[in-house]
Each structure stands twice: as C-alpha cells, then as structure tokens.
Amino acid sequence: MKYKRVLIKLSGEGLANKTKSLAIDYELVKNFALQLKSIINKKIQVAIVIGGGNFWRGTSAAKNGIPRVRADYIGMLATTMNALALQSGFEKNNVKCRVLNSLSMDERVCEKYINEKAIKYLNQGEIVIFAGGTGRAFFTTDTAATLFASEIGAEAILMGKNNVDGVYDSDPKVNKEAKKFDRISYDEILRRNLKVIDQTAASMAKENKIDIVIFNILEENSLLKVLEDNIKRTIITSENNEGEK
Ligand code: UDP
C-alpha cells in the first residue's frame, strides 16, 4: 500500500440512510469500523474529518434568517454530534478512537484539538476524528480536511462521495456521455470550475501537495479498496499534467 497516513473525509450525508429516515445509519458505521480495523492492522494511520450535512448546513439555515456565523456554529456542533456517534460505533467494534474538536468543548464531551496529541494517538494506532470543522464560520469540512491533512502530514485525503465514483467533465447524472478523469490536477479543476470540492480546499491541497482521491463511499469495502487502488476513482493531484481521461 502506498500511503502510511491518510485522512478520510466523510460527509454527514454519507452517514445517513434516507430510505430509512435515519440521520446516522449504524449498520454503515459498523461496516466502516470493520474496514478501519483491517486498515489499522496493515499499519496505516487513519484520521477522519466528519461533516454535518445530515443534520445542518449553515448556508441553508442562513437563508431562513439565522445569522450566518451562528448558523455555521450550529453546523460545527452537528459535526461534533456525528463525531461522537462515530466514536461510539467504532469503539463498540473494538476500534480505538479519539475525538479532537476545533471548538472549545467541556472535556466530558471530547478532547481539544492539539496537533501533538493527534500525532501521538495516530502513532499509537488509534483513529483520530476531527470534529468542529476548522472551528470558524464560512468554511466547510472539505477545507477542514485539507487543513488537518496538512497539519498532520497526511499523504492523501480519501474523499468518499455518495454514489459518485470520481470527477467527470460534466454531471454524469445529467450527461450520459460525461467522461471520468483517472487523474486531474487542481489547476484543471479550478480552470474548468468543476464543483467536486470547494475552491478553498482545492487551493490549499494544491499548495501543500496533498492528493485527494474521490470515490464512491457506498461501494462495498470502498475504504479498503481505495487504499489498494482497486476501485473506480479519480486522483486529484498538484502535479500539473493535463487531466487525462
Ligand atoms: N462548518 C463551518 N466551518 C467549518 C466546517 C463546517 O462553519 O470549518 C459548518 C457549516 O455551516 C457547514 C456545516 O458546518 O454547512 C456542516 O459541514 P459541511 O457542510 O462541510 O458537512 P458535509 O457536507 O461534509 O456533511
């Protein structure tokens, strides 16, 4: 396996089960836990940034009259709820796990993010979940993922998407002829204005030379497969080659 330390970005919506109207699908969490167990056994260190979109999105709440900064703090609390639920789901399956929060929280809830602590836990083979996004309004958890990947020196961000298996030149749900990129550079993503990751996240990952791998999180054993490079995916890289299809 190529990577020794990775950061997995899980979206909040990726935890939900819409058909069963569940904000958090514990079968899915169990499935992630079992995959993470074998990843940790392979001596790959794993950090996770969790989103909050299954509960709350700051931009939508702001449209309903809640001041944007406050709406975003509610969003950061939503990521904290997901992080704690994930932690419990992982621990239940004997996967050691810590939650480190960018927001100040009472220590009965979770630990505060301190870089050295995160590194120590990762070296001990524990999963580290970063909650609270960047801790500031107007950002997304995609940006938090690139920020934390840079801070902990992760070699790649594995960005699981719901039912999308990579980056396409146009929306594959609308255009049947859409072409998927195997690899594509950040410059090309920005130039083509492709909406797969937000632009702040893209420019930060580019600056810090971190690969982002986009894949379908709902495919069976997707986390294991993406680390073995045995799944349909797109690698977004800072190498400035023309995007090959
Ligand atoms: N959020 C924020 N700052 C951050 C990260 C998240 O304010 O650094 C808020 C924002 O309101 C966002 C919400 O938390 O809408 C949930 O995060 P996100 O939308 O990124 O979650 P995902 O789409 O991954 O589920």
Short-list 175, 154, 156, 172, CA closest to 164: 172
* pLDDT at residue 244 greater than cutoff 50: no
* pLDDT at residue 5 greater than cutoff 60: yes
CA of 61, closest atom in ligand 1: 11
Confidence band, pLDDT 50/70/90 cuts, at residue 139: very high
What is the pairing mode between strands 233-237 and 211-216?
antiparallel
CA 58–ligand 1 middle distance (angstroms) = 7
pLDDT the model gives residue 245: 43
Average pLDDT over residues 129-139: 98
pLDDT tens digits, one per residue of 200-221: 999 999 999 999 999 999 999 9
Within the chain, where are the H helices? 26-41, 58-63, 68-92, 115-123, 141-152, 186-191, 199-207, 222-227
pLDDT the model gives residue 56: 94
Which pair of tokens denotes residue 46? 């794993």
pLDDT tens digits, one per residue of 109-127: 999 999 999 999 999 999 9
Tell whether ligand 1 has an atom less than 6 A from the beta carbon of residue 51. Answer: yes
Query: What is the end-to-end Cα distance of the chain in Å, rounded?
Result: 24
pLDDT the model gives residue 1: 60
pLDDT the model gives residue 241: 59
Tell whether ligand 1 has an atom less than 6 A from the beta carbon of residue 166. Answer: no
Express as a percent the part of the chain with pLDDT over 70: 98
Sign of the C-alpha dihedral computed for residues 166, 82, 141 and 114 taken in this order: negative
* pLDDT at residue 49 greater than cutoff 60: yes
Tell whether ligand 1 has an atom less than 6 A from the beta carbon of residue 134. Answer: yes
* pLDDT at residue 242 greater than cutoff 80: no
pLDDT tens digits, one per residue of 52-111: 999 999 889 889 999 999 999 999 999 999 999 999 999 999 999 999 999 999 999 999
pLDDT the model gives residue 180: 95
Tell whether ligand 1 has an atom less than 6 A from the beta carbon of residue 13. Answer: yes
Distance between CA atoms of residues 221 and 29, nearest Å: 12
* pLDDT at residue 197 greater than cutoff 50: yes
Tell whether ligand 1 has an atom less than 6 A from the beta carbon of residue 11. Answer: yes
- Name the binding residues for UMP: 52, 72, 134-141
Express as a percent the part of the chain with pLDDT over 90: 83
SS (H, E, C) 125-172: CCEEEEECCCCCCCCCHHHHHHHHHHHHCCCEEEEEECCCCCCECCCC
pTM summary value: 0.94
pLDDT the model gives residue 18: 85
CA of 73, closest atom in ligand 1: 7
Phi, psi of 176 (to 5 degrees): -65, -20
DSSP classification of residue 54: T
Which positions ≥6 away from 233 have C-beta within 8 Å? 165, 166, 213, 214, 215, 226
Mean pLDDT of the chain: 94
Of residues 45 and 19, more confidently modeled:
45
List the Cα angle 33/202/242 in 5-degree steps: 110
Distance between CA atoms of residues 14 and 164, nearest Å: 12
pLDDT the model gives residue 240: 73
CA 76–ligand 1 middle distance (angstroms) = 6
